[in-house]
Amino acid sequence: MRHRVLGVLVLLLGLLLPLPATTAHAATGPQIYGAWHCSDDACTWGRVRTVAEFDAMNHWLVDRGDGRPSVNLVVLSFVEPQKLLRKTNDATTVDGVPRGMTPEIVDYFTSRGIRVMLSIGGITYTDEWDAALAEDATRLGLNAADLATRLGVGIEIDYEQNTGPNLVGLQAFIDAYRSRHPYDATGADHTARLTIDTAAGDRWLIGINRKATADWLRTDTPVLDYANAMVPARQPSTTSAIANWQEHVDGKPTYAPPVPPLAPAKFTGGLYISDQTKSLPECTAFANSLQKSTGPFTQSVAPNGAGTTSGMLGYMFWAAERPSTRGTGTQPPNTCEGGVGAGATAYSVPLPMPPLRQS
């Protein structure tokens, strides 16, 4: 009888006690922790730089203060689409590629375990994307693939056309690129890394975002590796950053046609590290930064209709060195060891970048 009573008491206690913590979504640390890089001329990359001079302005990227890099990815921004299509040679461009995007600069990063990609486009070159896709989207994709082969890098699509994007042409570009560099789930082939930029949330670049989410970023039949949810017009608050990223996870079922949900494992979140007036905590003070305050969300956000694993892929920071002719930039003395670098330590960011989650 005593054993029966004890058993009932144990059962009642079990019902009253809270569920064990293991039922919560486990945190998934960032796999991607990268920076877009604009060189010293507001993203033109128009001149050849020596490695010594480049290092003097950018050493924080490869050394957070203890000899380890602050990031595991650098995206050199930007290649002008029409010039790449036509393989233009001019004062700032050689064979369609900015003069500053040299094998030596790529090796500066890759020799330290940092993956390198080149970004095609940017908001400045939206019209050039339109023109190049209309002229010969397939040839543009093939030229991009050849460029990736030549430098041993991946390619990012930054096509910021909000009204009537040429999605047929963009599909042809992707098909042509993939004909040379098929999708590689292992990530071992750096030239096979092909990504796309979307808006911070689902309410801008809607056509591109809808197409990418529905057809190119699926976990069952992936075409592109992942998307970057770019920075909004100004640095967001913690709550607005999270709200933007949650939109991608949820999709927009009320839109006509709807935007489907995106797997958390298929996108990164963008934050500013460079400001036109002052240094930001994201650059200088991890304890007060958005990459810290949003960390619980980005590491645990659950799928909501797409994907099976929780947590976004990580963070991308806009932008290293001199993204604007005005402002502080991230060159000395405004370097980012205390923000991005400290975050890399706090989050145990893997170097080199590991194979990315596929679902």
- Residue 61, SS3 per DSSP: helix
CA-to-CA distance for 38 and 76, rounded, in angstroms? 6
Report residue 296 as tokens. Answer: 């619980």
Q: Angle CA(111)–CA(186)–CA(209) in degrees, nearest 5?
A: 100
Among the four given CATH numbers 3.40.190.10, 3.20.20.80, 3.40.50.300, 3.30.160.250, the one describing domain 28-346? 3.20.20.80
Give the pLDDT confidence score for residue 277 in this predicted structure: 75
Give the pLDDT confidence score for residue 118 in this predicted structure: 99
Do 37 and 77 touch, CB atoms closer than 8 A?
yes
Q: Angle CA(131)–CA(145)–CA(112) in degrees, nearest 5?
A: 120
Backbone angles phi, psi at 198, to 5 degrees: -125, 175
Give the pLDDT confidence score for residue 65 in this predicted structure: 97
**How much is the pTM?**
0.92
Name the percent of the chain in helix, strand, coil, to the closest 5.
40, 15, 45
Give the pLDDT confidence score for residue 26 in this predicted structure: 67
Do 43 and 77 touch, CB atoms closer than 8 A?
yes
Per-residue confidence in pLDDT tens, the chain, 359 aa? 333 333 333 333 333 333 333 334 568 999 999 999 999 999 999 999 999 999 999 999 999 999 999 999 999 999 999 999 999 999 999 999 999 999 999 999 999 999 999 999 999 999 999 999 999 999 999 999 999 999 999 999 999 999 999 999 999 999 999 999 999 999 999 999 999 999 999 999 999 999 999 999 999 999 999 999 999 999 999 999 999 999 999 999 999 999 999 999 999 999 999 887 778 999 999 999 999 999 999 999 999 999 999 999 999 999 999 999 887 899 999 999 999 999 999 999 999 999 999 99
- Domain boundaries, given as residue ranges, for the chain: 28-346
> DSSP code of 21?
G
Q: What is the CA radius of gyration of the chain?
A: 22
Helix (H) or strand (E) holding 202: none
